[in-house]
Amino acid sequence: MIPVAPVVELRGVGRTFAAGDVSVPALAGASLSVGKGEYVAVVGPSGSGKSTMLNLIGLLDRPTEGTYLFEGIDTSDLDEGQRAGLRSRRIGFVFQSFHLLAHRTVIENVMLSTIYNGMPRLERVPAAEQALIRVGLAQRMDFLPTKLSGGERQRVAIARALVTRPALLLADEPTGNLDSATGGAVLGLFDELRADGLTLMVVTHDAQVSTHADRAIHLRDGLIEAVA
């Protein structure tokens, strides 16, 4: 049997920001591997490099050192257009502040991610409906996001990330703007998605999140401190 490549593989990845003459290493020498179907939490205090790592893994940023393989593809060989293409087809994002378009309905927000990945027009509405049913918002499809609660908005964002059937779901502080009850509901949804076989990486400083994950990667001052 041919072994399947891990979804995410970092080999000594670092990211240094140049601020004037001073260079600030936000992440250094990070090596990790996330296999298909894994649920990994990235935890650490603010400024520890969590978001930098997430941006690198999400192909929103390029490492200044090391090699990043996404599904076995060396991403340093890819140009901007190819990286955008990879994002549109293989990576789903969930943000702390949801990033929903206020003037578009729930289903339009979900379909937004289908216009950049070449999904045929006829498949978009069924796919978006399916994703919304999956996150439990079948009754809210034609609402504007402003009419929804915080937990519902985050579930719309999750549906938007799921509609393209990505290989990896990246969540950046998904419960940061939610109270503990609705946050718990979102984490429950992540558990279900993991059970469906989705690969998840969640960046958080919330200890509750890491208890749901298969393992937690602790970051401190840009270094991987421990893998629990």
- Of these, 167, 177, 184, 185, which contacts another protein (CB under 8 A)? 167
Report in angstroms the alpha-carbon separations of 173 from 2, 76, 205: 35, 27, 7
Q: Which stretch binds another protein (CB under 8 A): 109-117, 135-143, 179-187, 199-207?
A: 109-117
Nearest to 93 by CA among 13, 200, 175: 200
From 2, 18, 122, 181, residue interacting with another protein (rule: CB under 8 A)? 2
Q: Which of 197, 107, 182, 111 is nearest to 150 (CA)?
A: 182
Residue 18: phi and psi, rounded to 5, are -95, 115
d(CA 189, CA 68): 28
**Least distance (Å) between residue 97 CB and another protein:** 7
Report which residue type is found at 116: Y
Residue of 23, 45, 76, 116 that binds another protein (CB under 8 A): 116
The C-alpha atoms of residue 209 and residue 187 are separated, in whole angstroms, by: 7
Q: In whole angstroms, how close is the CB of 38 to another protein at the nearest point?
A: 15
Q: Is 125 a residue that touches another protein (CB under 8 A)?
A: no
Among 65, 112, 165, 176, binds another protein (CB under 8 A): 112
HSE on the CB side for 27, CA within 13 Å? Answer: 29
Among 87, 134, 153, 218, indicate the residue that binds another protein (CB under 8 A): 87
* Shorter beta-carbon distance to another protein: residue 73 or 223: 73
By the rule CB under 8 A, 190 interacts with another protein? no
Told to check if 103 binds another protein by CB under 8 A, we report yes
Instruction: Give the whole-angstrom CA distance, residue 68 versus residue 54.
Output: 12
- Determine whether 167 is exposed, middle or buried from the number of CB atoms within 10 Å of its CB (0-12, 13-18, 19+): middle
Instruction: By CB under 8 A, tell whether 165 contacts another protein.
Output: no
Nearest distance from C-beta of residue 181 to another protein, angstroms? 26
Q: Which is nearer to another protein, 7 or 212 (CB)?
A: 7
Nearest to 56 by CA among 163, 172, 154: 172
Given the rule CB under 8 A, which residues bind another protein? 2-6, 9, 33, 55, 58, 60-61, 69, 71-73, 78-82, 84-90, 93, 95, 97, 99, 101-104, 108, 112-113, 115-118, 121, 160, 167
